[in-house]
Structure 1
């Protein structure tokens, strides 16, 4: 059973890499992808925690890109770290600037907060800001922070810096990774089949078919596209931990009980 989409405290998850590994082992996961937003910082800790256990750590990332001024995420599996770290640092710095801009907006609105010090390689996100707002007494819950201030279109929201989805796919390919469009049917910035065709021409190698937000019909469509275009199928719970991101709180690890054969196909794609 595999989990190919998980987050840790290195981005917007609520479990450390070690805690996530322990939870994965307890849930019977045999292969766990660490796919934090725009950072590789959790890999080593997860690999160390998994040593001696029947659990394979799959190195990954969830790259933040935009299409038509809307967020579009691309998972990348098995990137060449030496080639990827320098350009990825630019994306990480962009996340930091985005977080700072949201903090400034909140202060202008009369809700000053202080973000905690974050170590090198940690990707700040809206859950960190929501947590700071709760701690400052401006809101009572994470949900309130998102619903009133941090969700797209709200007063303190700031869009990602411009880095197109096509550029993201090409960057991942240039760094030896397998680029996979994350949760395609969550995308709201354009016609999904048309976007898919463009990303396919740019070098997309897979689709996240299995995601908690996808209906069975949507998963069937994505699976059909993969078959027609010889693409890898992936899936995962998009696990953020038992709390933190309000969009994922009810989703458990190992949500789909996906077979290891999916990982075999992913590894084969990484060699091509």
Structure 2
């Protein structure tokens, strides 16, 4: 019933915001978060479409940050769009520069490509490059592109701009957004417990407990930590257009504490 992690064509998802809202409704979702990477450009279309369906849109974003030189994603829920848009322009510019560097590397390796034109506010990402490599006939699938060229430590890989997870948390909170560590067990830059406590000290307010790549034991561990530290639990399918929506059939009861926390933050920063 609750989906708090989904992507659209404004980042690396395969469905437009309209298509995503319709698909979520058909899957039984009652509250849907739009959490594109480093952009909030998909919100407006999602809100407009949701007006015709029995579904609530939760405005969100997924910041691409770096911790200990490794990628770490921070979800932010209910940010003030007016405060967040300008800082995100820097993130989008950094994504475009990164994509150009990857394309330059591929060209030097003998695999020249051109990306399809992207609209205003779209976050350039490696899946776009992988798609172009498939179209050019260099690989048979996006997965092959990542395994051979685009994944971490592969020949064409380029790291994100140096935007730290601490800075990301601080940015989100300054915009009234609730910062949540996305899919924490997918992070490989340090011991989870150590990183968790450091992010908590920086202002982290919750964990994405329910995620398709978390094992049942990891989910139980995260649930226990959230209860122990009195922080928020969230979850979602991390849906990009492939696979299933509403995988966890999460209760809408998880949404109310998130809303209340966002309201308190908004009051404190205004």
Question: 1:167-246 residue pairs with structure 2 within 5 A?
Answer: 167-242=167-242
What is the rounded CA distance, in whole Å, between the counterparts of 1:222 and 1:99 in structure 2?
Answer: 34
1:52 Cα deviation from its structure 2 partner:
2.5
Match of 1:270 among 249, 262, 266: 262
Structure 1, unmatched stretches of 5+, are 243-250
- State TM-score, norm by structure 2: 0.96
Residue by residue over 1:3-27, the C-alpha shift from the partner in whole angstroms, topping out at 9 and shown as x without a partner, is 0000011000111111111100100
What is the rounded CA distance, in whole Å, between the counterparts of 2:163 and 2:246 in structure 1?
Answer: 31
Residue by residue over 1:249-269, the C-alpha shift from the partner in whole angstroms, topping out at 9 and shown as x without a partner, is xx3110100000001111011
Question: 1:63-82 residue pairs with structure 2 within 5 A?
Answer: 63-82=63-82
Equivalence for 2:268: none
- State TM-score, norm by structure 1: 0.96
What is the rounded CA distance, in whole Å, between the counterparts of 2:114 and 2:150 in structure 1?
Answer: 16
1:154 aligns with 2:154: yes
1:198 Cα deviation from its structure 2 partner:
0.8
Equivalence for 2:7: 7
Q: Per the alignment, in what secondary structure is the counterpart of residue 60 of structure 1?
A: strand
Equivalence for 1:19: 19
Of 216-225 and 6-15, more deviation after overlay is shown by 216-225
Equivalence for 2:29: 29
Structure 2, unmatched stretches of 5+, are 265-270
What is the rounded CA distance, in whole Å, between the counterparts of 1:186 and 1:271 in structure 2?
Answer: 29
Residue by residue over 1:28-74, the C-alpha shift from the partner in whole angstroms, topping out at 9 and shown as x without a partner, is 10000000000001001111111131100000000000011100000
Equivalence for 2:113: 113
1:176 Cα deviation from its structure 2 partner:
0.3
